[in-house]
Amino acid sequence: MDTVIKKLRTSPVFEPLLQPMRYKGVWGGRGSGKSHFFASLCVEEHGNQRGRLTVCIREIQKSLKESAKRTIEAQLRLHGLGEADGFHSYADRITTPGDGVIIFVGMQNHTAESLKSLEGYHCAWVEQAEMLSQASFDILRPTIRAQNSELWFSWNPRRRADPVDAFFRQGAMPANAVCVMANWRDNQWFNKTMDAERLECLNNQPEQYDHIWEGDYQKIVAGAYYAAALTAARGSGRISRCYAEPLLPLKAFWDIGGTGAKADNTVIWIAQFVGREIRMLDYYEAQGQPLATHVQWLRKNKYEDALMVLPHDGAAHDKVHAVSYESELQRAGFETQVVPNQGRAAAAQRIEAARRLFPRIWFNQVTTQPGIDALGAYHAKRDEQRLVDLGPEHDWASHAADAFGMMCIAYEEPVSRPDRPYRHRFHNRSWLSI
């Protein structure tokens, strides 16, 4: 006799996800019951559909302790289902009635070829989907292609650019998709112990609270260099709207990447120094693109007259062709200036300069949000066993932070080029080309 689960414990917020749909998404903060909902739905469907095949996925899964297996097993106990009902929990899988199975996979351990065995699966549930890479997302979607198959995603938003967030929340959602937001307020079984945890976070980690508990984007990574500075900037309204002064010059601060699929990103901050105030007006980032693409963006946004401020490697010549970013930008009609190398302690100097200047920095939020996100994620590598700071982590956030820090160095320590004289006027140790 088939196992039948007649009633599913469901908060009203999840009811739109009970109908058949190719893509189902739930996003929100801690304590919302996202994972418990999908685990319960998984158990119900395996109980009511003999031979159902489900794969539970994480981007990185070093062991089954990091998988959804325990959550599903908890739901089996909640429903009172066990071996007598056709459910058997083994070390690496859970078998279900009618030769059904629930398995657990880490996407980084597989390729498109090795995932072909999943082509007959009826469902894939991606937990912590904010970590899913674009490559994994692109492999998974066509792999789960059985008739009426479904892909489920649960996540706590991290960045707007994360593939799952871009798919469900940025722009028009596909016609065969449904997505809901769920937070702790929507959880009918939210208890006093969890509420105490929430309040402790609110009181002791206010800069992290909205991300952890309310499902907001991760504005600041724990341990980020500029955590306190960004929190203060938001609190004082300096991340809002600001505009360029038409009679003062603009400056474009670069971090130079390269071309090719694995090259570092190129970043440009557009800034203006207005008395004691620093205005961050615009932000640009591109990966693997030639210089012509960056120049096109500058011209499109009417920054032809901005001074191009380059890091020391902007003056370095190509080993084959006697050109540099500096020389090519000059050929394109831009004025340039190179900030000298600060030596081995360059990163630390940039960080300290930025921290000193942050109280006078304003951001035009609409145009610089990706850069702000990067500053909030810029953090140190850590040796957790020895509690040693190993210097800045070189990742997606470091390029924006390097250009931002170089801007602060240039503001505090004006540089000049004796071979290309400029007319300057100095104000509060800042330099303003005219």
| Total number of domains constituting the chain | 2
Pairing mode, strands 430-433 and 424-427: antiparallel
pLDDT tens, position by position, 361-407: 999 999 999 999 999 999 988 766 666 677 788 899 999 999 999 99
Nearest-CA neighbor of 282 among 293, 292, 272? 272
pLDDT in the model for residue 422: 39
Q: Sorting pLDDT into bands at 50, 70 and 90, what band is 159?
A: confident
Residue 254 lies in a domain: yes
- What's the average model confidence in pLDDT over 228-243? 92
- 283 has pLDDT over 60: yes
Q: Sorting pLDDT into bands at 50, 70 and 90, what band is 414?
A: low
Compute the distance between CA of residue 411 and CA of residue 24 in angstroms, rounded to an integer. 49
Distance from the first to the final alpha carbon of the chain: 85
Q: Which CATH number do you get for residue 263? A: 3.30.420.280
- 418 has pLDDT over 60: no
pLDDT tens, position by position, 115-148: 888 989 999 999 999 999 999 999 999 999 999 9
Domain hosting residue 307, numbered range: 239-433
Q: Are residues 281 and 180 in the same domain?
A: no
Residue 5 lies in a domain: no
Compute the distance between CA of residue 43 and CA of residue 68 in angstroms, rounded to an integer. 12
pLDDT in the model for residue 318: 52
Q: Which CATH number do you get for residue 146? A: 3.40.50.300
pLDDT in the model for residue 424: 36
pLDDT tens, position by position, 324-358: 899 999 999 999 999 988 777 889 999 999 999 99
Contacts of the segment 236-241: beta carbons below 8 A, 24+ positions apart: 238/361, 238/362, 238/363, 239/362, 239/363, 239/365, 239/372, 240/362, 240/363, 240/364, 240/365, 241/364, 241/365, 241/366
Q: Are residues 172 and 251 in the same domain?
A: no
141, 160, 186 — which closes off a domain? 186
Q: Are residues 248 and 319 in the same domain?
A: yes
Q: Are residues 244 and 374 in the same domain?
A: yes
128: number of Cβ within 10 Å: 20
Q: Are 1 and 86 in contact (CB under 8 A)?
A: no
Compute the distance between CA of residue 236 and CA of residue 219 in angstroms, rounded to an integer. 16
Q: Are residues 74 and 163 in the same domain?
A: yes
pLDDT in the model for residue 221: 77
Residue 7 lies in a domain: no
**pTM score above 0.75:** no
- What's the average model confidence in pLDDT over 295-318? 88
- 425 has pLDDT over 90: no
- 80 has pLDDT over 70: yes
pLDDT in the model for residue 7: 63
- What's the average model confidence in pLDDT over 200-214? 88
Nearest-CA neighbor of 302 among 244, 364, 383, 258? 244
pLDDT tens, position by position, 30-45: 999 999 999 999 999 9
Q: What is the average pLDDT score of the chain?
A: 87
151, 170, 186 — which closes off a domain? 186
Residue 212 lies in a domain: no
Q: Are residues 175 and 268 in the same domain?
A: no
